[in-house]
């Protein structure tokens, strides 16, 4: 999910023209779910990217989806926006909303909301150089992770059983929206897909994230759900796999086992045009 290559293409185009700040945004934005090191451009751009790769904050949320609290140091402050040296707050992107939570330090605290690579502080503002203790609003994040994995299960069923692709998605706490490239959709069909998805999720399948090389990625055409040539510029790909069931290039956070999803309930479906049908699911339990 969140295979937002088109967005990436737009940022990449901007990056070639725009300032260092634009490039920095490109590098830290999770909208390019697939990117690890986009170092394959020529000349100056290549060199700039190499330098900035060492600049960017450590994305703890990619390594550990269950990290709820962490220590960090404030790098930059701009009005109410704070940049940390490392973060477990998901910054938003690929249909997954940014995280919320709290920072505490000697002499202050604030509620935060992720905004791309920055956190917006409501309350005190920690000065640059401050060591902070950060905590995610875990209940909300876990509900979003359940929703994210649930959409991968539904998409897995849709892809395997009906040979349709994702055309869009949006995640909310314990709720998700998925757009699929069906020509026709009926309530019965939507219910059938959700029923099959629940049966798959109840099997308790492990979910894992890892990286594969471009060569390996190319050898698995089922991973390429967007025009193949767009993948050429990436050296490595982050894969989220529901073991033995579904694999996708993905930059988001997921539950460790499909049994954590709960039960998916079809709450709404509608046609958004030819080859674009929208399904909403709510999670119970």
DSSP category for residue 241: E
1 touching Zn ion, by CB under 5 A: yes
Residue span binding Zn ion (CB under 5 A) among the ranges 12-20, 192-200, 245-253, 271-279 = 245-253
By CB under 5 A, residue 2 contacts Zn ion: yes
- In terms of CB distance, is 134 or 158 closer to Zn ion? 158
- Nearest to Zn ion of 190, 239 (CB atom): 239
Residues ≥6 apart with Cβ < 8 Å to 44: none
3-state SS class at 128: coil
Structure tokens at 222: 């089922």
What strands lie across the sheet with 236-242, from one edge to the other? 207-213, 236-242, 246-249
Least separation in angstroms between residue 72's CB and Zn ion is 26
Task: For Zn ion, give the closer residue by CB, 2 or 114.
Answer: 2
- Dihedral over alpha carbons 54, 85, 62, 40 (to 10 degrees): -20
> Residue 170: helix, strand or coil by DSSP?
strand
Instruction: Name the residue whose CB lies closest to Zn ion.
Output: 1
Asked if 92 interacts with Zn ion (CB under 5 A), we say no
Out of 117, 241, 250, 260, point to the residue binding Zn ion (CB under 5 A). 250
Tokens of 118: 């920055």
How do strand 86-87 and strand 58-59 relate by DSSP bridges? parallel
Q: How far apart are CA 285 and CA 74, in angstroms?
A: 38
Count interface residues toward Zn ion (CB under 5 A): 4
Tell me the window of 51-59, 249-257, 260-268, 269-277 that interacts with Zn ion (CB under 5 A).
249-257
**Of 1 and 255, which has the nearer Cβ to Zn ion?**
1
Closest to Zn ion by CB, 1 vs 264, is: 1
Structure tokens at 166: 């994702």
Q: Provide the minimum distance between the beta carbon of 37 and Zn ion in the complex, in angstroms, as a whole number.
A: 21
Q: How far is the CB of 261 from Zn ion (least distance, A)?
A: 13
Cβ–Cβ < 8 Å for 30, 94? yes
Among residues 49 and 193, whose Cβ is nearest to Zn ion?
193
Q: Are 112 and 55 in contact (CB under 8 A)?
A: no
| x-or-dash string of contact with Zn ion, 140-159, rule CB under 5 A | --------------------
Binding site for Zn ion (CB under 5 A): 1-2, 250, 252
């Amino acid at each position: 999910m969140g295979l937002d290559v088109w967005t990436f293409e737009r940022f990449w185009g901007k990056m070639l023209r725009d300032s260092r700040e634009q490039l920095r945004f490109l590098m830290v934005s999770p909208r390019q779910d697939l990117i690890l090191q986009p170092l394959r451009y020529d000349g100056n751009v290549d060199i700039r990217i190499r330098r900035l790769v060492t600049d960017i904050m450590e994305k703890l949320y990619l390594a550990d989806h269950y990290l709820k609290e962490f220590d960090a140091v404030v790098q930059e402050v701009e009005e109410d926006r704070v940049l940390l040296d490392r973060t477990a707050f998901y910054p938003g992107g690929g249909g997954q909303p940014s995280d919320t939570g709290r920072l505490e330090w000697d002499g202050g605290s604030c509620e935060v909301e992720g905004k791309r690579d920055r956190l917006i502080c409501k309350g005190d503002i920690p000065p640059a150089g401050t060591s902070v203790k950060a905590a995610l609003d875990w209940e909300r994040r876990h509900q979003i992770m359940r929703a994210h994995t649930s959409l991968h299960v539904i998409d897995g069923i849709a892809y395997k059983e009906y040979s349709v692709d994702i055309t869009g998605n949006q995640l909310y706490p314990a709720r998700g929206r998925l757009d699929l490239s069906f020509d026709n959709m009926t309530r019965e069909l939507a219910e059938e897909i959700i029923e099959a998805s629940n049966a798959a999720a109840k099997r308790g399948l492990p979910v894992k994230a890892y990286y594969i090389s471009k060569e390996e990625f190319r050898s698995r055409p089922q991973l390429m759900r967007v025009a193949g040539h767009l993948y050429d510029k990436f050296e490595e790909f982050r894969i989220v796999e529901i073991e033995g069931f579904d694999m996708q290039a993905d930059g988001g956070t997921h539950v460790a086992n499909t049994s954590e999803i709960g039960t998916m309930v079809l709450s709404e479906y509608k046609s958004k045009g030819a080859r674009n049908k929208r399904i909403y699911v709510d999670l119970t339990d």
